Amino acid sequence: MNASTSETQVPFTTIIGLEVHVQLQTLTKLFCGCSTAFGAPPNTQVCPVCLGLPGSLPVMNQRAFRLALKAALALDCNIASFTKWDRKNYFYPDLPKGYQISQFDLPFSMDGTLEVIDPKGTIGPCRVGIVRVHLEEDAGKSMHDETAGSGDTRIDLNRAGTPLCEIVTQPDLRSPQEARLWLNELKLLLVYLGVSDCNMQEGSLRVDANVNLHIPQPDGRIAKTPIVEIKNMNSFRSVERALVYETTRQWGVWQETHAEMGKTPKQTRGWDDPAGVTRAQRHKEESSDYRYFPEPDLVPVTVSSAQQAAVRSEMGEPPVRVRKGLETRWKISAYDADVLVNQGRQLVDYFEELATLIGDGKIASNWLQQDVLRTLNERGGTIEDFPVRPAALAELIARVNAGDFDTSRAREIFSEMLASGRSAADAVLSMGIAVVGDDELVALCRDILAANPKIVADVKGGKEQAAAGLIGHAKKKNPNINPGKVRTICIDLIRAMQ
């Protein structure tokens, strides 16, 4: 929390850096042909290579490398022309080879940035440096079966060898809210690029956070609290909550102990979401020496500028540019553009198709946000499967614009279109809605005026809002009338009486 921008002034600056692991959207693993599909029965997506059987050798998945390259280019990283693989040696039951193939001193990309602007304006623009992006294989999964009381651990190696992109940021984030905002933008970017589905529930995106406090001292020195690494956060909301908790905790510890960085080893704490606290994890001093050395079973990878250009050309627009594009092309607010873009590329495509058909971005945006998104939230599903396609919705909106019916009537028609899959015209027919002709409407209005002298008198007396009472009577006579039109006609007729 930066003292100058936070609501409640605090006498310290929060320093946050993130380590994000993203599972790449490949069909097969990083070094073998096994499927990466989520949810298969344990140990059914394995082969000698990802099981680490004697004599097996890895072969790099070219698509995984291209996807990782795409991510790094989108994060504005420098791409190394020469990169190699290293073995990270550690012993764990879900790591079949006893080492993980990763990248140590020559990652394929370094020195990038990703800037985020909060459309709500509550947080200033934050520009976060990327230390490095590298590619590595995932380990298997250990499932601790404590329910049986036996303390058994079961190993599922389906995930072993899945391609992961590790993104390490500079400690450039200054508040838990910033961290969450930035992670949202990173996720959106990776999803837009097709690099990852970033599904946190399935473990496609995992975040660890490093956090400490910088506390100005009376003598002008900055005291720094020991850096804590927080693990086990299962959503961006958890990341924000864990960081808020940890900031407060560190401030409390500081006030008690005045312990500074370097005096104690870096601590790892796990986030306990239900309890809302971080807890110290057992130290694993011996595992910190990974004995990295170059992986002799793989050859170094060279990346030419032509390859970079090819990846760039298939990259598509990042969300930040899509937002700007929507604002300028369709004259919608930054806020609205943000809401639409956050829903993903497919929704943006739907919006643009609709806006083009009706020739109005604002109306298209309103319909999407108020009706389409609400429906999606209620019913689930994706915009690609949404039964009302842009053309059908555009037809409905055109009828509203033509004054055939008002918005609330249009919403009923929209519901019918959703339920039946009918076009706007067919839905109107099936609902028995007949458009009331102008002459018919004037005649109807005359009838109501004749039957409601009190209201007519009120309107005459200057209480124009009394005309609303006429609309109810009109609707009783004919449910298909356009209330706005009725109101206008009635007032005109009353004025003509005078």
Nearer to another protein, 51 or 491 (CB): 51
Q: How far is CA 203 from CA 8, 29, 134, 308, 405, in A?
A: 35, 15, 18, 29, 48
Site for another protein in 292-331 (CB under 8 A): 292-293, 296-299
Binding mask 128-157 for another protein (x = CB under 8 A): -------------------------x----
Nearer to another protein, 287 or 346 (CB): 287
Q: Which amino acid, residue 332?
A: I
CB of residue 55 to another protein, shortest distance in Å: 4
Q: Which amino acid, residue 285?
A: E
Query: Which residue, 87, 31, 35, is CA-closest to 59?
Result: 31
Nearer to another protein, 297 or 447 (CB): 297
Query: Which residue, 75, 201, 205, is CA-closest to 138?
Result: 205
Nearer to another protein, 86 or 327 (CB): 86
Site membership for another protein, residue 370 (CB under 8 A): no
Site for another protein in 172-231 (CB under 8 A): none
Binding mask 55-94 for another protein (x = CB under 8 A): xxxxxx--------------------------x-x-x-x-
Q: Would you say 102 and 68 are in contact if contact means Cβ atoms under 8 Å apart?
A: no
Buried b / exposed e along 30-40 (16+ C-beta atoms within 10 A) = bbbebebebee
CB of residue 286 to another protein, shortest distance in Å: 11
CB of residue 161 to another protein, shortest distance in Å: 14
Q: Alpha-carbon distance 34 to 161, whole Å? A: 9
Nearer to another protein, 56 or 281 (CB): 56
Nearer to another protein, 37 or 57 (CB): 57
Residues in contact with another protein, counted by CB under 8 A, come to a total of 28
* HSE value, Cβ hemisphere, 13 Å, CA-based, for 115: 7
Partnered with residue 206 across adjacent β-strands are 21
Query: Which residue, 310, 296, 322, is CA-closest to 79?
Result: 310
Residues in Cβ contact with 151 at an 8 Å cutoff, skipping those fewer than 6 apart: 144, 145
Q: Alpha-carbon distance 237 to 180, whole Å? A: 7
Residue from the set 27, 37, 40, 53 that interacts with another protein by CB under 8 A? 53
Residues in Cβ contact with 36 at an 8 Å cutoff, skipping those fewer than 6 apart: 23, 26, 27, 28, 29, 45, 162, 163
CB of residue 21 to another protein, shortest distance in Å: 23
CB of residue 81 to another protein, shortest distance in Å: 19
The first and second tokens of residue 132, run together, are 């490095």
Binding mask 92-121 for another protein (x = CB under 8 A): -x--xxxx----------------------
Nearer to another protein, 55 or 437 (CB): 55
Give residues in contact with another protein (CB under 8 A). 48, 51-60, 87, 89, 91, 93, 96-99, 153, 289, 291-293, 296-299
